[in-house]
């Protein structure tokens, strides 16, 4: 500090105060973010932007060619999964992935590399009920949600689908392109979910939101179709729900689904081509097949 300037005055003295003002410390009355709270423990990981798709130490079961095998679940999200396990698969093999109660999803092998297998999930919502009930529900949905699709008169009766006593009842069900979506109300928030499969007792839904196991959400499909449920498990983006009361799948005809796109965009890690070999029927083709099936 210039003492001479302070005594005799001058420009510097006018600009520089003799006693500097102290900066206030502590919390401000209207700013809670000025309170410093010491963290008792250090962060063990970056949990704000964690990659929920990469799984560590997670296992699941698959059914491949009639045999159940335990596999390591490496990655699960975006309509596909990456697994590794003691089974030999070929491209486009059918695989059923079992994640938990109400958590079976049909998959197809899309790539094989270094002992790992890339699975693509079936696009449509799986309806876990008898073949006849599936056909009736789909028929009612097309009539109600897609009235512009005319149910053509089938002159020759189509081939009868395999009966329910076949080894795989679901494989014989009509392949449809319909996807049901809904809203999951949980823990004071609401998130859009995709219904992967649904039965009278529960459902598996896909969502990017974090939903805790043990929560009791409400699954809302719109048009007064809603079910109270309990979250029984959560793996990656997939969540298993157990309904509190039995759900009548015929009510799905009141909830309008969307139609699976022709070109499905796979997750980057699956590195797929755009070939679609699921063999889904179009809505008009499906309506004709269902019409003949239900007349029998």
Distance CA 84, CA 24 (A): 60
pLDDT at residue 57, as a whole number: 79
Contact present, 211 and 283 (Cβ < 8 Å)? no
pLDDT of residue 171: 55
**Per residue in 212-240, pLDDT tens?**
999 999 999 988 899 999 999 999 899 99
pLDDT tens digits for 24-51?
Answer: 665 555 554 455 545 444 444 333 334 5
- Interatomic CA distance for residues 181 and 14, integer angstroms: 72
**Which pLDDT score is estimated for 148?**
81
Question: Which pLDDT does position 23 carry in this prediction?
Answer: 62
> Residue 238 has what pLDDT?
94
pLDDT of residue 273: 53
pLDDT, residue 278, reads 72
pLDDT of residue 282: 80
Beta-sheet strands, E only, within 122-214? 126-127, 178-179, 181-186, 189-198, 202-206
Task: Output the six-digit token pair for 237.
Answer: 């983006």
Sign of CA dihedral 169, 173, 177, 183: negative
For residues 286 and 174, the answer to whether their CB atoms sit within 8 Å is yes
For the chain, report the end-to-end CA distance as a whole number of angstroms. 104
Give me the tens of pLDDT residue by residue for the chain, a chain 296 residues long: 566 666 666 555 555 565 666 666 655 555 544 555 454 444 443 333 345 566 777 999 999 999 999 999 999 877 899 999 999 999 999 999 999 988 999 999 999 998 999 999 998 999 999 988 999 999 999 999 988 875 444 343 344 444 444 345 555 566 889 999 999 999 999 999 999 999 999 999 999 999 999 999 999 998 889 999 999 999 989 999 999 999 999 999 999 999 987 655 666 655 555 566 677 778 888 888 787 677 66
H/E stretch holding 57? strand 54-64
Q: Which residues pair with 70 in a beta bridge?
A: 61
Contact 199, 249 (CB under 8 A): yes
- For residues 63 and 65, what is the distance between their CA atoms, to the nearest angstrom? 7
Number of H-type helices and E-type strands within the chain: 4, 15
């Amino acid at each position: 500090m210039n003492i001479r300037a302070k005594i005799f005055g001058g420009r510097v003295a006018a600009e520089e105060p003799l006693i500097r003002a102290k900066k206030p410390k502590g919390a401000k009355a209207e700013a809670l973010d000025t309170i410093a709270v010491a963290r008792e423990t250090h962060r063990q990981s970056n949990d704000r932007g964690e990659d929920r798709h990469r799984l560590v130490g997670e296992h699941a079961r698959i059914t491949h060619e009639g045999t159940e095998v335990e596999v390591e679940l490496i990655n699960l999200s975006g309509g596909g999964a990456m697994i590794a396990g003691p089974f030999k698969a070929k491209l486009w093999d059918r695989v059923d992935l079992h994640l938990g109660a109400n958590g079976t999803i049909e998959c197809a092998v899309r790539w094989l590399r270094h002992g790992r297998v890339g699975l693509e999930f079936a696009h449509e919502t799986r309806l876990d009920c008898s073949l006849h009930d599936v056909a009736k529900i789909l028929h009612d949905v097309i009539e109600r949600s897609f009235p512009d699709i005319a149910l053509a008169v089938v002159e020759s009766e189509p081939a009868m689908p395999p009966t329910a006593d076949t080894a795989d009842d679901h494989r014989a069900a009509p392949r449809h392109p319909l996807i049901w979506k809904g809203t999951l109300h949980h823990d004071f928030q609401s998130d859009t979910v995709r219904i992967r499969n649904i039965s009278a007792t529960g459902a598996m839904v896909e969502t990017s939101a974090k939903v805790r196991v043990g929560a009791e959400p409400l699954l809302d499909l719109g048009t007064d179709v809603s079910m109270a449920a309990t979250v029984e498990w959560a793996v990656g983006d997939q969540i298993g729900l157990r309904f509190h009361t039995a759900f009548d799948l015929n009510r799905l005809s009141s909830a309008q689904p969307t139609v699976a796109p022709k070109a499905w965009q796979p997750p980057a890690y699956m590195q797929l081509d755009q070939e679609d070999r699921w063999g889904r029927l179009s809505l008009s083709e499906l309506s004709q097949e269902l019409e003949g099936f239900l007349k029998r």
